Amino acid sequence: MTRTAIALVLVVLVGAGWTTARADDPVTVYAAASLAEVLPRVAPDARAQFAGSNQLALQIRLGAPADVFASASPLYTQQLFREGLVERPRTFATNSLVLAVPKSNPAKIRSVYDLAKRPKLKLVAAGAKVPVGLYTREVLKRVGLLRVLRKAVSQEPDVKGIVGKLALGEADAGFVYATDVRAASGRLVAIPLPRRSQPTIRYEAAVVRASRNRAGAIELIADLLGTDGRRELARAGFGLP
């Protein structure tokens, strides 16, 4: 979508009373933690809050002042859509899951199957309701290794918690997005997962119905879907739908 087309759409929406915010009000976007590096490059003027998508969805249900919700899983955007709390979601990116280890790889992990062979392994995982935690359990179930979750030394609220513990050497392995390893600046090593175990990871964004800045929210989503946004997402390692 060109800037001209976006501007025409916004003029129509504003004229129809779709926004009560001033033109210079920043858009507030509640976004998945895995978007923390790339979103500011796509929407540098937005006011962003990053956390686990499940936590953000709960906050929106409780009336948090968000204009846009960008989730790392369709589960939460679609739930809010069915509840009438967001407009129809749009898929704007994809990702893949990897097994990440610290650069020094103290447990000598070479594949996901090594997780079951290390009795003293310190695994760090995300909670079962966090998107990356859901994807982790999907992978482990497909390879018959759900039991290794017993070795988890912590249950993190979002993917950045896993990245932080691995980067500091507080854990031997954890499941994160491929984009998180790229953003870790060489502190982590990604171990690919078997193709048959790879989950489908889609990111969706939606305008929050209670938004006070609908015009800005629509423009932000247009930026995510537009040429410049797609370029920044690709540079960060995200796939494009």
| Same domain? 124 vs 212 | no
| Same domain? 53 vs 135 | no
| Same domain? 7 vs 81 | yes
| Same domain? 192 vs 207 | no
| Same domain? 171 vs 130 | yes
- CA–CA dist 172, 150 (Å, integer): 14
| Same domain? 12 vs 23 | yes
- CA–CA dist 48, 19 (Å, integer): 19
Q: Render pLDDT for 153-200 as a digit per residue (tens, 0 to 9).
A: 999 999 999 999 999 999 999 999 999 999 998 999 999 999 999 999
Average pLDDT over residues 96-105: 97
Predicted confidence band at 2 (pLDDT cuts at 50, 70, 90)?
A: very low
Average pLDDT over residues 194-208: 97
Structure token pair of residue 204: 């969706």
Q: Render pLDDT for 122-147 as a digit per residue (tens, 0 to 9).
A: 999 999 999 999 999 999 999 999 99
> The domain that contains 129 carries what CATH number?
3.40.190.10
pTM: 0.88
pLDDT at 24: 64
Query: Which structural domain, as residue segments, surrounds residue 101?
Result: 97-197
Q: Is residue 100 predicted with pLDDT exceeding 90?
A: yes
Answer yes or no: is 240 within a domain. no
Residue 238, phi then psi, degrees to nearest 5: -75, 150
The b/e string for 104-133 (b: 16+ C-beta within 10 A; e otherwise) is eeebebeebebbeebeebbbbbbbebbbbb
Three-state secondary structure call for residue 135 = helix
